[in-house]
Amino acid sequence: MAETDQAKPLASFRVHPRSDDEEKALKTKNRRRKFKLCGCIATILLLLLVIVIVILVFTVFKVKDPKVTTNEIQLTNFDVNVGQLLTGQIKINITMVVNMSIKNSNRASFRLGNSTTSVYYRGISVADAQIPPGIVIKARKTSGLNVTVDVMADRLVSSPDLLGDVRNGEMIMTTYSVIPGRVKMLFIKKHVEVKMNCTMTINISKRGIEDLICKRKVKL
């Protein structure tokens, strides 16, 4: 009796010994569970990676527009002879240097393309200057850019307003600069274009620039 009493719990513990099939099923179930866990972790890691990449792309690797500033415009040459102008013998020789600085706040270098500066006088294009491409501004650096512009006297003289402006002692000119460039961040290349217009008043007797107002437009 005592034996059977002791044997009973054992018997109830394993009433039906596992068949091979059951064993296999259990193993595959375990394996599946492991696979599921692995898959879950892998998915989470992948998601985290994607999130980190997205955050980096929108923060550290976000392409920021370069800050172009016109510091000053100097008249390195200014020869407008009023007397000669009045008698029809015109002698005009104007050269200006547009002093700009470009601040690159990206974590990659900024390469300038073909940049141009044009000067307008009362709607007439009086000068064009090209900045040779290939200037590279290193990451998080500021670089100066001098553009020398020679005003074409014949074009300036073609304006009917010149005489009056010279008599009044001041001329208003506008510079129009287009600075295209490229920022290469990791595998992404981004084109940037900065447009800069400056309006200045030239005081003829002083041979100097009095008011310089600049406007900037950026296309990313």
Ligand X SMILES: *[C@@H]1O[C@H](CO)[C@@H](O)[C@H](O)[C@H]1NC(C)=O
Minimum CB separation from ligand X for residue 211, in Å? 9
What residues are paired with 144 via a beta bridge?
A: 101
Q: Which residues of 99-110 are buried (b: 16+ CB within 10 A; e: fewer)?
A: ebebbbebebbb
Which of 32, 215 has the CB closer to ligand X?
215
Closer to ligand X at the Cβ: 81 or 203? 203
Report d(CA 202, CA 217) in Å as an integer: 24
| Cβ(102)–Cβ(68) below 8 Å | yes
Write down the least CB distance from residue 106 to ligand X, Å: 19
Shortest Å, Cβ 44 to ligand X: 45
Q: Which is nearer to ligand X, 77 or 81 (CB)?
A: 77
Backbone angles phi, psi at 31, to 5 degrees: -60, -45
Residue 198: strand pairing partners: 175, 214
Residue placing its CB nearer to ligand X in the complex, 63 or 112: 112
Whether 95 contacts 148, CB under 8 Å = yes
Closer CB to ligand X, 57 or 90, in the complex:
90
Q: Shortest Cβ distance from residue 52 to ligand X (Å)?
A: 34
* C-beta of 109 vs 203, nearer to ligand X: 203
Q: Using CB under 6 A, list all residues that contact ligand X.
A: 71-72, 74, 77, 93, 97, 99, 113-114, 133, 144-146, 169-170, 176, 195, 197, 203, 205-206, 215, 217
d(CA 143, CA 111): 12
Beta carbon of residue 150, minimum distance to ligand X (angstroms, whole number): 8
Reading the block at residue 116, the tokens are: 């141009």
Per the DSSP assignment, residues forming a β-bridge with 150 are: 95
Rounded distance between C-alpha atoms, residue 85 and residue 91, angstroms: 7
d(CA 78, CA 67): 30
* Least spacing, CB of residue 217 vs ligand X, in Å: 3
